[in-house]
Amino acid sequence: MTDYLESAYPKLAEKLRKRSFASLPTPVTQHEIESSTGKHTVSVKHDDQTSTIYGGNKVRKLEYIFQRAKERGAKRVATFGAVGSNHALATAIFAKELGFECTCFLAHQKRTPGIRRTLDTHLKLGTELVRYGGRTNRLELYRRYLQQRQTWVIPLGGTCWLGAIGFVNAGLELAAQIAAGTTSLPDRIYIANGTMGSTAGLAIGLALAGLPTQIHAIRVADNQFARPEVLQRLIEKTVTMLSSLETSIPNDTASKTSIVWRDDFFAGGYAAVNDVTLEAVEFAKSSLDISLETTYTGKAMAALLHDLEKGDVGASVLFWNTYNSRPLPSHNGDLSHQGLPEQFERYYE
């Protein structure tokens, strides 16, 4: 059983289907970490392994979103993100696997080491890349690239009530692993909080499972995309939709979620890096044998390590690794840059 939501609410699955391409459940590993306040047990939930093709947290969301696109007769999907967006790349990879054409509207961002490899992979996949943001005429872009193309538009980060359902399932998955003795009940979960869909769904899943675990949502996106009040509305919308589809899901579930919003490891901006983040990424590699990056997961790890040093994390904590660990294909420098917007050539300089 990999669909814990279906197991808990069988009637819901009849109304809310998904394309099952994730490799679930993802494993949990246990680690002992020494800090100035003593020894701590830290678990890692390996959502870096959500698929054999491309991992990360977006896979759970896309299972539901791609199914809806198919049901609505779409031939193409389109989504949004920064140039190095893991969400945009995941969308393009699974669109190719499932037979959809794909358009990605991408905005500029600070340079990070993985951007060239990400763009290379888009070019290899044949993703239609469109420069987005700045002074571009958005209405004109929508008319040109979306109209009359049988396109299903996926929101930024895959964040919508439907995408969040993937992480409702994830919360129930963790509860099943705890019940089976695979891992212990964590007092806290640390997760990178970008467009907030993963945080929202996970909080609902834990609430439905009756787990008292507190989620520490480490903000990594600008305020225009990530705000506490918007997160709360997303949680309430998702619960409303679930309750309307399955009446046994309590409509007051949103009030039972437990989230601590954290702004203190934003490091000054999206994809901005400071020494604390870099040290956290290095620690994760050397002590936990996991590879993180500095835009999302490194900041969540930095928060966890900071709290361990303070000694106020409780007996057990869990780090939810949302970063893909599957290797992207090597291109040996033989890719044509045809189809690459000229504005993106700066990332190859």
Same domain, 199 and 95: no
Same domain, 130 and 85: yes
Same domain, 36 and 107: no
Same domain, 118 and 178: no
Would you state the pLDDT for residue 58? 98
CATH of the domain at 65: 3.40.50.1100
- Number of domains the chain contains: 2
Same domain, 70 and 101: yes
Same domain, 139 and 178: no
Same domain, 47 and 30: yes
Reported as a single tens digit per residue, the pLDDT across 86-143 is 999 999 999 999 999 999 999 999 999 899 999 999 999 999 999 999 888 999 999 9
Same domain, 137 and 85: yes
Same domain, 53 and 65: no
343 within domain boundaries: no
Mean pLDDT of the 308-313 span: 90
269 within domain boundaries: yes
Would you state the pLDDT for residue 52? 95
Reported as a single tens digit per residue, the pLDDT across 287-302 is 999 999 999 999 999 9
**Structural domain of 154:** 58-158
Structural tokens at position 86: 């893991």
Reported as a single tens digit per residue, the pLDDT across 200-245 is 999 999 999 999 999 999 999 999 999 999 999 999 999 999 999 9
Q: Rounded CA gap, 43 and 340, in Å? A: 41
pLDDT category at 334 given cuts 50, 70, 90 is low
Question: Domain boundary at 127, 158, 189, which?
Answer: 158
